[in-house]
């Protein structure tokens, strides 16, 4: 009799173990917050390390940016390694599965391989990325970015809200805090087959469709802008409606236009997440309005068309309303389409475990976007409960779905073995 197979129940239990570590102000309220290199973060890394060691990994280490790296050696040392993993940091008051699921699913698979005394003809490298969410410092994706050469040495001088630099935080955490050690983390793509990432969907599509798993086709391209409209402040009682240059109403019309333009595409999204009237009053026509626009689409071309249309129409609305309009681009990220052969591997893996293959694009950014810059990648999404809510303590998955994700990952490993 062998040891029992690690399954979704184990993954839920491990998630609870990891979730015991939360920053004190949030832990008091029963909330989960784990930001980069805080004591809760360091304890989470230790918990992950212990879990990987107990699961039969041959080597487990923490690297110079705090990534927890587990290696399960294959039978052919010269074969290229499969890279997988996701992040273990969280947003403030976040969920237990965002990121962590993508570490725990491959850990469960390695545990099963190890218990069975089985070696695959390739190495499996599982990385718990230290940082993806950009909560403590402005830098984001710094865990996966360290592997791809995207870690900017100037980030070491960034300060958190308390004035602690990243370098100081690294020193306090016992990391080398030296650029040379971080630069050395860059992976040589020729040593790798590719990167796969399992992640909770963070959206309602799989839940609404009653589908446990989804194969990701692309991670959306995005552009973010800050916008400023200047009209003319005036008396709310004496200025006739036809003679107004209301900055807020121009922003409102632009918001509704952006909504409609995104709706005209099947899968574009546009969001006005912040809007303010600086110094506004109840009896004053808004003279100035500041707002943000976040626009995303599955391909760069579709994103560019969306952004160009919204910009042109916004300028036209501003001109008609006789207000000035400034648009400042603050972020532009390229789409990360899944590698077709790796997407096909996931589809075969999902089919092999008797589940329907449902393809969807990812509206959220993921570590796979970073790895995409140096190697082929494809992601598998797992259904979230509560209509897929995420970045929220209501985020949830079922043990059954976690089991299916583990079986799909095991089927993917078999697929790589069968079709190298």
Which residues sit at the interface with Zn ion, rule CB under 5 A?
98-99
- Shorter beta-carbon distance to Zn ion: residue 98 or 395: 98
Smallest CA-to-CA distance from 248 within 213, 210, 289 is with 289
Joined together, the tokens standing for residue 280 give 């506004």
Report in angstroms how near the CB of residue 322 gets to Zn ion at its nearest. Answer: 44
**Least distance to Zn ion, CB of residue 90, Å:** 9
Distances (CA, A) of 15 to 242, 351, 385: 59, 27, 16
Contact at 8 Å (CB) between 146 and 67?
Answer: yes
Residues in a beta bridge with 34: none
Cβ proximity to Zn ion: between 99 and 106 the closer is 99
**CA 398 distance to own-chain centroid:** 21
Tell the smallest beta-carbon distance from residue 403 to Zn ion (Å): 21
**Least distance to Zn ion from the beta carbon of 127, Å?**
14
* Closer by beta carbon to Zn ion, 34 or else 285: 34
Give 99 or 337: the residue with its C-beta nearer to Zn ion: 99
**DSSP run (H or E) holding 341:** helix 340-352
In terms of CB distance, is 99 or 388 closer to Zn ion?
Answer: 99
* Most distant pair of Cα atoms in the chain: their distance: 87
Report the distance separating Cα 310 and Cα 306, nearest Å: 6
Residue closer to Zn ion by CB (options 98, 309) is: 98
Vertex 100: Cα angle to 96 and 102 (nearest 5): 135
CB closer to Zn ion, 47 vs 131: 131
Pick 68 or 262: Cβ nearer Zn ion = 68
- β-partners of residue 380 are 198, 215
Cβ 132 to Zn ion, closest distance in Å?
6
**Beta bridge partners of residue 225, listed in sequence order:** 293, 329
Min CB(390)–Zn ion separation in Å: 8
Rounded to a whole number of angstroms, the minimum distance from the CB of residue 87 to Zn ion is 6
Strands (E) located in 1-121 = 59-62, 68-72, 81-87
- Supply 384's token pair: 């979230």
Helix (H, G, I), strand (E, B) or coil at 289: strand
Least distance in angstroms from the C-beta of 366 to Zn ion: 6
- Do the beta carbons of residue 248 and residue 189 sit within 8 Å? no
Query: Please, which residues bridge with residue 81 across strands?
Result: 192
Tell me the C-alpha distance between 26 and 93, whole Å: 7
């Amino acid at each position: 009799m062998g040891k029992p197979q690690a399954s979704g129940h184990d993954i839920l239990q491990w998630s609870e173990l990891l979730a015991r570590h939360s920053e004190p102000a949030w832990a008091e309220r029963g909330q989960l917050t784990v930001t980069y290199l805080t004591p809760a973060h360091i304890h989470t890394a230790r918990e992950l390390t212990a879990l990987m060691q107990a699961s039969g990994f041959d080597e487990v280490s923490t690297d110079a940016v705090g990534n927890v790296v587990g290696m399960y050696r294959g039978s052919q040392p010269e074969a290229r390694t499969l890279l997988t993993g996701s992040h273990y940091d969280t947003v403030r008051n976040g969920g237990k599965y965002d990121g962590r699921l993508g570490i725990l699913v491959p850990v469960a698979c390695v545990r099963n391989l190890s218990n069975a005394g089985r070696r695959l003809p390739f190495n499996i490298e599982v990385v718990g990325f230290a940082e993806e969410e950009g909560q403590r410092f402005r830098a984001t994706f710094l865990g996966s970015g360290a592997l791809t050469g995207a870690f900017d040495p100037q980030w070491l001088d960034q300060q958190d809200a308390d004035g602690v630099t990243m370098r100081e935080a690294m020193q306090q955490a016992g990391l080398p805090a030296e650029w040379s050690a971080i630069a050395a983390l860059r992976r040589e793509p020729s040593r790798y087959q590719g990167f796969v990432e399992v992640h909770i969907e963070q959206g309602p599509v799989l839940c609404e469709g009653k589908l446990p798993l989804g194969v990701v086709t692309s991670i959306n391209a995005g552009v973010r802008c800050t916008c400023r409209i200047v009209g003319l402040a005036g008396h709310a009682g004496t200025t006739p409606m036809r003679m107004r240059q209301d900055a807020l109403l121009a922003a409102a019309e632009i918001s509704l236009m952006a909504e409609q333009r995104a709706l005209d595409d099947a899968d574009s999204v546009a969001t006005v997440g912040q809007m303010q009237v600086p110094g506004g009053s109840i009896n004053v026509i808004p003279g100035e309005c500041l707002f943000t626009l976040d626009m995303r689409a599955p391909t760069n071309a579709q994103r560019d068309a969306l952004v160009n249309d919204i910009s042109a129409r916004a300028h036209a609305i501003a001109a008609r309303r006789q207000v000035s309009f400034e648009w400042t681009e603050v972020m532009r990220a390229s789409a990360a389409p899944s590698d077709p052969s790796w997407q096909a591997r996931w589809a075969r893996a999902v089919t092999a475990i008797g589940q329907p293959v449902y393809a969807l694009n990812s509206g959220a950014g993921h570590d796979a976007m970073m790895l995409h810059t140096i190697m082929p990648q494809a992601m598998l999404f797992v259904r979230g409960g509560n209509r897929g809510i995420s970045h929220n303590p209501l985020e949830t998955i079922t043990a059954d779905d976690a089991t299916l994700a583990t079986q799909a990952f095991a089927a993917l490993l078999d697929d790589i073995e069968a079709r190298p």
